[in-house]
Structure 1
């Protein structure tokens, strides 16, 4: 049973300790009117740290932040560690500055391996404990472990995950109009052209606005096309600069995406003309599907949360519901399944037993199942039961990540150096959608790649 009101309970424990009383939070001896006792047996391995605090920061906000706090509520009560989370949309821009000034949180939930590498290079990160590494070796693939490693030092386990490249749509509209789920990229083009020709609305709705990170949803489009058109080897060469950013294979992907994002016939359904992609928030861009004002929206599995931003269930996400998603198809129908995705990595800035106990919990199958059961997210942790996911689509997503036959590649911009992946690539997308040609944009991005 999930604990609520755990901070009040922790305060009671501290007060009792001050009076010389002995209370054990995990034996069923403590309760208040707002919560039920927790079975602490699964948490025994993490130890007890009464009165200790771990501060955490990241980009996770609003409903997802609430769920994150709930995912470690039992851990807090059973270990005595108080976890204080602070979410900020400026986390990525500020964390290196905070670390340099000695003001970093104990744990930072980093969404980019490139940013992890930057923090490790600065000498600010604490290597992961053996307990964390043991969990990763048991529950995660070698690729995922590699994303939390820099210069042969393992710093962080993966946390949540996402599959990018879903195309969200209305099952009812598809049934009513006889649309088929496309099996190839050519069939996707044909479907888009069919919807455009009918004249009711533009087929695609797109939002690229995300504050200082405006443009990143467009990078996801390009990455999906590079992986599908040119394959994983070229993708790997691209993100590591084994081939230049302005390589013809990357230009091919940009031009294919441009057939949608730079085409007035294709976007921006229910929102405006092509230019509105840059001003429309990515969180709201898919919502015109619900009003029949567009038919297709390209966004990751985590977009499920944005259909019901208040945490309700008014919008049903299912193959027979209000919205559902299919994966951006391959070039050929019989091509192996290849997907891009993302994730987060809890890095440590303070060397302390309570910090590593907390990170060990986050790297476990226990935490992964707890969080997935709360809804809206997935994990690539092999110990996750897909049936714990909150929707048909998320169950499918977990199964895809757990399938050894799936070709998975981490989000390319997140793997690139920050000067490119979190700067010139994002800005390049904005300039490109705004009218700059592909060659000009790719040459500019290539010029920003660090020389060392």
Structure 2
């Protein structure tokens, strides 16, 4: 940076002699050398292993990142004397893809897409985790064994998706009546580069609740065609419930609204909408549901023709390992521990599905939160991982885009499903062998 100038130079009234230019240059050179030496010492310390480092990429930013650092990263750094270089990005999939392409991936990554991770495993980018985590700590739908016999990820945080939120004080009869009125559904399809995923959640849940885990498994695994009657009818059911292709104002609002803002009309007078099909995380992300004291119903109670009982769509933030350095393996063990999972989920208001992190009887917390957590850990229930998240990335992205097009133009459904069938039959795709912990 150049020095600031305030006017022409004038004679210095101070009669004391200034240092010579040669001396000034000498001092500057010495200072520069000392700075370089200090930097070299830091690099040398790290190189010698006195300050081992592990890099971690995840999607948490803002308050979530601060909570994650406080509850999980800082205790790890203090206990093991390993520094964590954390990068938080809402576009972590794109960041990871660019890093892998450049040959500089992080040591550990957290992604929501098991299908995306399966693709990286096929490319030999991920390292097996069987020797670092206990398989019995997580159900089969969470720590999936691939066809090569290895497990490459486990959940750090989980959410329940087969639920419908409503404001406190709304009776069961009122909820049933509202479910048949498209204008009563709070719907926002916007989510930046991943817009459309709220629509995929709807369709997935309808397939699960109407036709059960076995059909859901076949579809999510690429075995059941998109143009099959069961999958097609799920699209049509969703379209009827939310008014696809109907009132331009209603459809336009859904297409233009970010998913985080979809519930804001709930607190209007009168309410602009009263029901929202959304994952458990929205209860703490959406201020409207906090103000309305949001409660939830299992979605099976409100989806027409639902026949499944005890079947739940779930999602999770999944941890995977890309480099087997000692510090990266230690971080994996830490993130998979019951203590770390319990600590992170306590401050983040999320949920852990670690069998050792079950809440103790009498634990404090709102009833809705305790109930959701218990459902995620219920051994009698069927938990099926988010189908689009489990699909190959190209199919997942096309699915999300298709829900946006269908909402505006439901008459194009046949063409949309044909395109998805074509993409699903492309060569070289990786489909998961299982997305449900069991299918009864």
TM-score interval for Structure 1 and Structure 2 normalised by the shorter chain: 0.7 to 0.9
1:274 and 2:256 matched: no
| 1:287 equivalent in structure 2 | 264
| 1:263 Cα deviation from its structure 2 partner | 4.6
CA distance in 1: counterparts of 2:71 and 2:375, whole angstroms: 23
SS at match of 1:301: coil
1:305 and 2:305 matched: no
Q: Which runs of 5+ in 2 are unaligned?
A: 1-37, 42-48, 428-440
1:359 and 2:360 matched: no
C-alpha deviations, 1:247-305, integer Å up to 9, x for none?
Answer: 1100111111011233578x89xxx4212212211111112212222111111001122
Q: In structure 2, do the counterparts of structure 1 residues 261 and 93 end up closer, same or farther at CA, with 3 Å as the change threshold?
A: farther
Q: Aligned-residue CA RMSD in angstroms?
A: 2.6
1:191 and 2:186 matched: no
C-alpha deviations, 1:44-92, integer Å up to 9, x for none?
Answer: xxxxx86222211122232222222122121221111222221212211
What TM-score results when the alignment is normalised by the length of structure 2? 0.78
SS at match of 2:383: strand
CA distance in 1: counterparts of 2:364 and 2:416, whole angstroms: 40
Query: What does 1:370-381 align with in structure 2 at a 5 Å threshold?
Result: 370-381=343-354
**Aligned residue-pair number:** 374
1:383 and 2:381 matched: no
Where relative contact order (Cα < 8 A, 6+ residues apart) is larger, the structure is 2
| 1:258 equivalent in structure 2 | 239
Aligned partner (choices 378, 381, 405) of residue 431 of structure 1: 405
CA distance in 2: counterparts of 1:50 and 1:395, whole angstroms: 43
Moved more, 78-87 or 350-359: 78-87
CA distance in 2: counterparts of 1:228 and 1:209, whole angstroms: 25
C-alpha deviations, 1:361-403, integer Å up to 9, x for none?
Answer: 1111111111122142112111223366853222212211211
| 2:394 equivalent in structure 1 | 419
CA distance in 2: counterparts of 1:52 and 1:244, whole angstroms: 49
CA distance in 2: counterparts of 1:150 and 1:75, whole angstroms: 33
| 1:128 equivalent in structure 2 | 129
Whether the 8 Å CA contact 2:358–2:377 is kept in 1: the answer is: no
| 1:444 equivalent in structure 2 | 419
C-alpha deviations, 1:378-437, integer Å up to 9, x for none?
Answer: 12111223366853222212211211111110000011111111x210110011011142
| 2:213 equivalent in structure 1 | 232
CA distance in 2: counterparts of 1:205 and 1:429, whole angstroms: 16
SS at match of 1:124: coil
Whether the 8 Å CA contact 1:209–1:279 is kept in 2: the answer is: yes
| 1:315 Cα deviation from its structure 2 partner | 6.3
Q: Which runs of 5+ in 1 are unaligned?
A: 1-14, 19-48, 183-187, 197-201, 309-313
Aligned partner (choices 328, 333, 336) of residue 299 of structure 2: 328
Aligned partner (choices 163, 168, 173) of residue 180 of structure 1: 173
CA distance in 1: counterparts of 2:422 and 2:318, whole angstroms: 29
| 2:432 equivalent in structure 1 | none
